[in-house]
Amino acid sequence: MDYSGDLMEVLGEYLLPLKSIDELLSKGGAGAKVLVETPLGFKNVGLEVVRYLNNKGHRAYLSGQSVWGACDFSAAGDYQYVIHLGHALPPNIFRIISRNFRLKREGFNDVIVVNIENGPTVLFSAVYYEPKPELISKARETLSDFSRLSVKPLIAYALPFKLYAYKIAEILNAPLAPGPITGCFVHFPIPDTVLFIGSGHFYPLTFKLLRPKTTVYSFDVFRGVVENMDNIYRRYLAMKVKAIQEFNGARLVGIVISRKPGQYRPDLIETLINRLRRLGKEFVIIDLSEVSPDYINNLPVDAVINTACPRIGIDDLDRFMKPVVNAGDVLKVNPLDLSNLLVW
């Protein structure tokens, strides 16, 4: 794959479409006021982008907040532009953003532009890890067993690992996913076997949460290690079942809504209220900017229904001191139907 073109190397490890970003900002005139926001692990990249833009004559600021996905961006009106680095923008999140704002969307290769009426223009920009020859060589050796399989696994990836995924698909002569996945959305049919290219458990678990019978392997390109996600999935499943069972015994329930642009779901409130009334439970609606254990554990309620990112009611359960379930868990006909845990 030829990935030179518009992509510029940053810190010797990353490739970013900085030329396209500069061109898009310059359309609004000189000296645009810009907020650069990144996931926690990309703050060093964000700092380099701020330096680059300031050298180009813009007024760029680095956000100190960590963003967890494309659903979690700043819509502050005191910036002309927000550059959101490192996350794909899936259709389900875009639909929620569209319900909450009047906006227009445009696409420019590695940058998605969302113009928010009476708000900033948000540039969702890719950040790619630049494939290193030594890591590719190690991948070839570690993944040799997959190359001998009669049925090739689908090679899937999160956005930053796209270039590694392309290389590994070539090495294994295996099919490549048509685009990146996120922690809450897979936009293509999930096959029986997936080889996820990335690091950590968050993204590959998405496949198990949506289709439990799929065999999911995760290849950490930095450690050169392959893991089967089944045991990890079972551990999360046990925590989920425990939370649902404990929720059934709760008397006072907090319905938590998040103000994050791609997580704000006021449309769920009335339906949840009706369901809780049928269950004979008291309730209170709680408005939060961040649905985290620091806030949830101090709420004066017996249990919480999360209407924000469904991964909160899965990945963080061992950090909560009270049962937390997702809106989708409560609204299912059978709350213990675990065939799809990412229902919003």
Average pLDDT, the chain: 94
- Quick one: 270 and 201 in the same domain? no
The boundaries of the domain holding residue 158 are 131-228
- Quick one: 123 and 139 in the same domain? no
| 344 Cβ contact partners less than 8 Å away, ≥ 6 residues apart | 92, 184, 265, 268, 307, 310, 326, 327, 328
- Quick one: 16 and 124 in the same domain? yes
Handedness of CA 57, 63, 66, 69 (dihedral sign): negative
- Asked which of 128, 163, 182 is the last residue of a domain, the reply is 128
Q: Give the chain's radius of gyration (CA, Å).
A: 21
Read off the pLDDT of each residue in 4-23 and give the average, rounded to a whole number: 90
pLDDT at 1 over 50: no
Cα-Cα end-to-end distance for the chain = 36
Handedness of CA 258, 38, 125, 205 (dihedral sign): negative
- Asked which of 108, 128, 148 is the last residue of a domain, the reply is 128
Domain for residue 336, yes or no? no
- Quick one: 121 and 13 in the same domain? yes
Q: Which pLDDT belongs to residue 50?
A: 98
pLDDT digits (tens, 9 = 90+) for 266-284: 999 999 999 999 999 999 9
Domain for residue 106, yes or no? yes
**Count of CB atoms within 10 A of residue 205's CB?**
22
Q: Which pLDDT belongs to residue 207?
A: 98
Residues linked to residue 279 through DSSP beta bridges, in sequence order:
none
Domain for residue 170, yes or no? yes
Read off the pLDDT of each residue in 128-157 and give the average, rounded to a whole number: 94
pLDDT digits (tens, 9 = 90+) for 189-198: 999 999 999 9
pLDDT at 308 over 80: yes
For the entire predicted model, the pTM comes to 0.94
- Residue owning tokens 């645009």: 32
Q: Which pLDDT belongs to residue 2?
A: 42
- Quick one: 153 and 201 in the same domain? yes
pLDDT digits (tens, 9 = 90+) for 309-321: 999 999 999 999 9
pLDDT at 5 over 80: no
Domain for residue 89, yes or no? yes
For 56-88, the DSSP string reads TT-EEEEEEEE--STT-----TT-SEEEEES--
- Kindly report the CATH number assigned to the domain that includes residue 93: 3.40.50.11840
- Kindly report the CATH number assigned to the domain that includes residue 323: 3.40.50.11860
Domain for residue 343, yes or no? no
- Asked which of 128, 161, 180 is the last residue of a domain, the reply is 128
pLDDT at 250 over 90: yes
Higher pLDDT, 29 or 161: 161
Asked whether the beta carbons of 62 and 39 are under 8 A apart, the reply is no
Q: If pLDDT is split at 50, 70 and 90, which confidence band does 343 have?
A: confident
Q: Which pLDDT belongs to residue 98?
A: 96
Residues linked to residue 288 through DSSP beta bridges, in sequence order:
258
pLDDT digits (tens, 9 = 90+) for 204-239: 999 999 999 999 999 999 999 999 999 999 999 999
Higher pLDDT, 108 or 22: 22
- Quick one: 155 and 124 in the same domain? no
Q: Which pLDDT belongs to residue 77?
A: 82
Cα–Cα dist 17/12, whole Å: 15
Q: Which pLDDT belongs to residue 290?
A: 86
Domain for residue 233, yes or no? no
- Quick one: 41 and 147 in the same domain? no
Q: If pLDDT is split at 50, 70 and 90, which confidence band does 128 have?
A: very high
- Sheet of 303-306, strand order: 282-288, 252-258, 303-306, 324-326
Q: Which pLDDT belongs to residue 268?
A: 96
Encoded tokens for 179: 């685009």
Read off the pLDDT of each residue in 56-67 and give the average, rounded to a whole number: 94
Domain for residue 136, yes or no? yes
- Quick one: 66 and 163 in the same domain? no
Domain total of the chain: 3
pLDDT at 3 over 90: no
Domain for residue 340, yes or no? no
Angle in degrees, CA 216, 341, 40, rounded to 5: 70
- Residue owning tokens 């100190």: 64
